[in-house]
Amino acid sequence: MKISIIAAVAQNRTIGKANDLPWRLPDDMKYFMQTTQGHHVVMGRKNYQSLPEKFKPLPNRTNIVISRQKNFSAQGCIVVNDLPTAVSLSKQNNETELFIIGGAEIYSLALPITDKLFLTEIKAEIEGDTFFPAFEKNAWQEISRVHHPVDAKHSFEFDFVIYQRM
């Protein structure tokens, strides 16, 4: 089973502000949906709670929420207490590619065991309070990059980039 991280990241590594995205990029949301659809997705409790109600659980995916709160429950989701349990559960379910979808703490825990990074690299420094972990880019090979310009629906230009661990 492949383990992949998917995230939208500003140039200063911002991924969130006040438990929300500090940007609106509809094509990035569409990319996220298409890329993760049909797969297991792992997220932290705060990330889960930040989802709009109409997207709980994320449709057409097996949602796994990691929480240290022993009594936490999320309707339609599998709740576990740590990342190894989430990975093990996905393997038991014959998942081919597990997607780690955030937040920052979950990304940090998963980065050492991740095979691929699906990063939307936003071409701007954006104010935030939550950041993607620093990583050694020389340990990763860029295998795909698709540019998206500023347009009527997107106030920032960005690239969809896929990195594979070397």
DSSP for 123-158 reads SS----SEEPPP--GGGEEEEEEEEE--BTTBSS-E
Closest CA to 112 of 103, 94, 120, 100: 100
Tokens of 26: 């509809």
In the prediction, which pLDDT does 34 show? 98
**Alpha carbon distance 139, 70 (integer Å):** 36
- Give 7's pLDDT tier (boundaries 50, 70, 90): very high
Place of tokens 């989430």: 86
Q: What average pLDDT does this structure show over 38-53?
A: 96
Percent of the chain with pLDDT over 70: 100
**Alpha carbon distance 149, 158 (integer Å):** 7
Answer yes or no: CATH 3.40.430.10 is held by domain 2-14+24-165. Answer: yes
Instruction: Please count the other Cβ atoms lying within 10 Å of the Cβ belonging to residue 97.
Output: 16
- Give 103's pLDDT tier (boundaries 50, 70, 90): very high
pLDDT tens per residue, range 110-125: 999 999 999 999 999 9
Evaluate if pTM is beyond 0.95.
yes
Q: What angle do CA 128, 27, 61 make, to 5 degrees?
A: 90
Q: What average pLDDT does this structure show over 69-91?
A: 97
Backbone dihedral angles phi then psi of residue 134, each to the nearest 5 degrees:
-65, 145
User: What secondary structure, in 3-state letters, does 52-84 show?
Assistant: CHHHCCCCCCEEEEECCCCCCCCCCCEEECCHH
In the prediction, which pLDDT does 97 show? 98
In the prediction, which pLDDT does 166 show? 96
